[in-house]
Amino acid sequence: MPTLFTRIINGEIPSTKVWEDDRCIAFRDINPTAPTHVLVVPRQEITRLDQMTEADEGLVGHLMRVATLVAREEGLNDFRVVVNNGAGAGQSVFHLHVHVIGGRSLSWPPG
């Protein structure tokens, strides 16, 4: 079964895309927690960050770089990049994704 995010990547489920390339896409989170809340998602289905292999290092680095490019396009100087790994850490969609969150003051530590 394709993941929810693969279905978004394939256009079966609509999304507001802000970035697309051969390795990943980025689209606005359906339930934003800040004025900018974008998800950067690899086309390759990796369940969660701790399932990445050495072969995925370049891809995961690319996701981080795209996160910064999206933040720049959104006009953000300060922003947060988050990966929730596992349900206990808040992961609800089991297809690796990087949250890019910004546009308001962000407190630390997160909940």
Which residues are near ligand DGP by CB under 6 A? 4, 13, 15, 27-31, 39, 84, 90-93
Residue 37 is a catalytic residue: no
Distance of CA 4 to the CA centre of its chain: 13
Nearer to ligand DGP, 29 or 56 (CB): 29
| Least Å from the CB of residue 49 to ligand DGP | 10
Return the structure tokens found at 84: 């929730």
Among the listed residues 37, 95, 97, 99, the single catalytic one is 97
Buried residues in 47-65 as b, exposed as e (16+ CB within 10 A): ebbeebeeebeebbebbee
| Least Å from the CB of residue 5 to ligand DGP | 8
| Least Å from the CB of residue 18 to ligand DGP | 11
Gap between the Cα atoms of 15 and 10, Å rounded? 11
> Would you please indicate which residues are annotated as catalytic (active-site) residues?
97
